Amino acid sequence: MLRQYELVDLVKSYDPDADEDALNRAYVFAMKKHGAQLRTSGDPYYSHPVEVAGILTKFKLDSTSIIAGLLHDTVEDTDTTVEEIRKLFGDQVAQIVDGLTKLAMIEQKSANNKQAENFRKLLLAMSEDIRVLLIKLADRLHNMRTLHFCAPEKRARIAKETLDIYAPLAERIGMQEVKTELEGIAFAELHKEAYESIQARLNFLREQDSDLVPKIIARLEKDMKENGIKASVSGREKSPYSIWRKMQQKNASFEQLSDIMAFRIIVDDVGACYQALGVVHSKYHMVPRRFKDYISTPKPNGYKSIHTGVIGPENTRIEIQIRTQEMHEVNEKGVAAHWAYKQGERVVGKNFRWIRELLEILEQASNPEEFLENTKLEMYNDQVFCFTPKGDLIGLPVNSTPVDFAYAVHSSVGDTCVGAKINGEIRPLRTVLQNGDQVEILTSKAQHPSTEWDRFVVTGKAKAAIRRYVRAHKRDQFITLGQQLLERTFKNENLEFGEKGLINVLPNFEAESIDDIYAKVGEGLVTAWDVMKAVYPAYKQSKLGKVVKSLTFSKTPRKDKSKAEPLKIKGLIPGMAVHYAGCCHPLPGDRIVGIVTTGKGVAIHTIDCKLLEKFADEPERWLDISWGDAVDDSPHIGRLKLMLANEPGSLGDLSNLIARNNGNICNLNIVNRTVSYFELLVDVEVKDLKHLTDIIAALRGSKVVSYVSRAG
């Protein structure tokens, strides 16, 4: 553990103007407040904040950060208050400690969404001051170094959270050293056998090729010197975790990996980087698709370097990284490497674009779990780099599409995206973007996000925006449907329906407004009967048969007063969330019934569907509906069950016959096969029941079809 004077000397070694008095007072304050508290290891508890402060000095952070590191646990674990810290050490220290304390309080909760809520709080705190993240990383790093003192189940939880959250965050701000150490300790805890296996192989390689690395370094140094380039060369072994992850991603064995060893050539300036690259490529064969220029197109975290794979000295396949000394510092220490401390300056996290994007996702997420899912998408993926028509560079995860690109430019561009030109050619929105693509987004004010987009977008920002729109759109539908269901249920029981009664039962359903109750009923999360019983608790429910009888399937459906034009389905509110049941495939012309389903709106079934038996005791879910008078040009799915002769050309005859009757096969499944016959299920796009009946009649007249009927 660092002594008081040693810590002060470390800070003053890189910041001569540091507040020595405040540092001394903070050290003594932390020792006194934590007093006789002990860690799991048995060490005095104050050794932890002192070690955290020591880690922060390696980042060369300002004295405000060091003081906050010393005090970060005092409010949580002692009788210290934020106001006391503000009075003794100033507003900035108090604000940072307050943010870290709120995080610690969240971490102690046992709720299922603890990790997600914790990350949400961390994001909000670091958006105000990025130093919160730096101190939190130092705190986590020291906790990981002492992880072996914890109970096994606690070790596994902390290690997984480190891999999921803190290592990616360290990478996001370019702190490669911290990221590598966090990953290494977590990997050894979570995948002990894999860690030991890779470590054993690395040890074997070191022993077997003990003189290989020095030979390659000497050869590269000679190559640089002969061409007048001043350079230092070093070898670097990949970490066990990065090797394991690459083996997983590429489905490759340890022996198949080519870049277990990387060699760094560090030169004086950018021009020398490209000179060195020229020397390397002129002397050694380049490995295809292994060249990356992160100097001209840096990574989002500021990483700059040239990477190339070559068959190098000693005929060995190696990776070479070429960079300047300044780049090397930034690549290893990230934000901390170019920390420009000025007295009183407030370091705001919102200056970092990726934090702004995560804040946008936070605003659009419906719950902490969804936010965590989308931010993981945002942080984990490798990048491709694409350009706007003006030449601006946009970094995106691998497998991104034009829709992801549009949302990366701006949320409003994504919401109104209707098409895209990739390298001057109009391409589908689901096209996967490649490195170097120039993308122009076509927009329309009439456009809105499509639920189909959620199937192919990969960025968290795009997914969050699409889901937010879908939620808002569906909620309006559920509110309308829920109100209709409640009105009908109350009317059937001859009870008065009014908003006053609903207001009184809001707490019963954890609702903040009447619309919340409507939405829950419409979505199927709460039944109309539950609400009615809550409003009239003394009421004795009548026989359910009374409600069932009220659902008469009249030949003349009631008119919808809200809209003059005819509807495709009568008895529903226009725009209501509706889907056709896959069990019976209802068609215009069938007698139908609507069933309110949880989270999906209304399912349309045929009146004779066997699945309706499941809802016999839930009449509040049933809706009296029928087909409307509108001309519906959209195709409907009719399912056929048939026996087809097992002979050459019979399948072609079947498809031709259906096509001649204006049907379109959209799915075909061979259920059974014998020497003589195929038993098939065929889904056919048709206009209505009559259309399907005509197709069935035509098939029955075919010599290759021995049996056909509509599948129920």
CB neighbourhood size of 327 (10 A): 24
CA 26, 28, 29, 35 torsion-angle sign = positive
Q: What is the pLDDT of residue 565?
A: 39
* Residue numbers annotated as active site: 76-77
Report the share of the chain in percent with pLDDT over 90. 25
How far is C-alpha 685 from the chain's CA centre?
36
Q: 97 and 82 in contact (C-beta within 8 Å)?
A: yes
How far apart are the C-alpha atoms of 97 and 75, rounded to whole Å? 8
Model confidence at 545: pLDDT above 50: no
- Which of these, 616, 545, 602, lies nearest to 568 by C-alpha position? 602
Q: Which of 150-154, 327-331, 377-381, 474-478 has the lowest mean pLDDT?
A: 377-381
DSSP-derived secondary structure letter, 656: H
Q: Where are the alpha helices (DSSP H) in 35-175?
A: 47-58, 63-71, 74-77, 82-89, 91-107, 114-128, 131-145, 152-161, 167-172
Q: 295 and 254 in contact (C-beta within 8 Å)?
A: no
| Residue 96 tokens, joined | 């940072």
CA dihedral 473, 479, 481, 486 (to 10 degrees): 170
The half-sphere exposure of 218 on its side-chain side, counting CA atoms within 13 A, is 6
How far apart are the C-alpha atoms of 456 and 403, rounded to whole Å? 9
pLDDT band of 115, cuts 50, 70, 90: low
Q: What is the pLDDT of residue 24?
A: 93
How far apart are the C-alpha atoms of 27 and 54, rounded to whole Å? 12
Contacts of 672 by beta carbon, 8 Å cutoff, 6+ apart: 678, 679
How far apart are the C-alpha atoms of 257 and 246, rounded to whole Å? 8
Model confidence at 138: pLDDT above 60: yes
How far apart are the C-alpha atoms of 242 and 471, rounded to whole Å? 38
Q: What is the pLDDT of residue 373?
A: 52
Q: Which of 23-27, 183-187, 337-341, 490-494 has the lowest mean pLDDT?
A: 337-341
Q: What is the pLDDT of residue 566?
A: 40
How far apart are the C-alpha atoms of 8 and 66, rounded to whole Å? 10
Reported in sequence order, the residue ranges of 607-662 that DSSP labels E, i.e. its strands, are 622-623, 626-627, 636-645
Q: What is the pLDDT of residue 343?
A: 36
Q: What is the pLDDT of residue 337?
A: 58
pLDDT band of 113, cuts 50, 70, 90: low
pLDDT per position as a tens digit, 196-248: 888 888 888 777 777 788 899 999 999 999 999 999 999 877 888 888 887 77
What structural domains does the chain harbor? 4-190 (1.10.3210.10), 195-338 (3.30.460.10), 470-627 (no CATH), 636-710 (3.30.70.260)
**What are the φ/ψ torsions at residue 646 (nearest 5 degrees)?**
-85, 80
**Residues of the chain by 3-state class (helix, strand, coil), percent to 5:** 50, 15, 30
DSSP-derived secondary structure letter, 556: S
pLDDT per position as a tens digit, 338-389: 554 333 344 444 445 555 555 555 555 555 555 555 455 445 445 677 888 8
Q: What is the pLDDT of residue 455?
A: 85
How far apart are the C-alpha atoms of 31 and 337, rounded to whole Å? 30
Helix, coil or strand: residue 241: helix
| Beta sheet of 417-422, edge-to-edge order | 425-427, 417-422, 439-443
Model confidence at 106: pLDDT above 50: no
How far is C-alpha 506 from the chain's CA centre?
33
**β-bridge pairing 232-237 and 439-443:** unpaired
How far apart are the C-alpha atoms of 261 and 170, rounded to whole Å? 23
pLDDT per position as a tens digit, 292-311: 899 988 877 778 999 998 88
How far apart are the C-alpha atoms of 609 and 469, rounded to whole Å? 33
| Residue 472 tokens, joined | 């808002």
Q: What is the pLDDT of residue 22?
A: 93
Exposed, middle or buried: residue 219 (CB in 10 Å: 0-12, 13-18, 19+)? middle
pLDDT per position as a tens digit, 647-701: 888 999 899 999 988 899 998 999 888 888 889 999 999 988 989 998 998 888 8
Model confidence at 174: pLDDT above 80: no
Contacts of 25 by beta carbon, 8 Å cutoff, 6+ apart: 88, 89
pLDDT per position as a tens digit, 18-42: 889 999 999 999 999 998 888 888 8
Q: What is the pLDDT of residue 365?
A: 54
Q: 20 and 33 in contact (C-beta within 8 Å)?
A: no
Mean pLDDT confidence for 458-474: 81
Task: Round the average pLDDT of the chain to a whole number and report it.
Answer: 81
Model confidence at 189: pLDDT above 60: yes
Mean pLDDT confidence for 56-81: 90
620/520: higher pLDDT = 520
142/333: higher pLDDT = 142
Q: Is the overall model pTM greater than 0.75, yes or no?
A: no
Mean pLDDT confidence for 62-75: 91
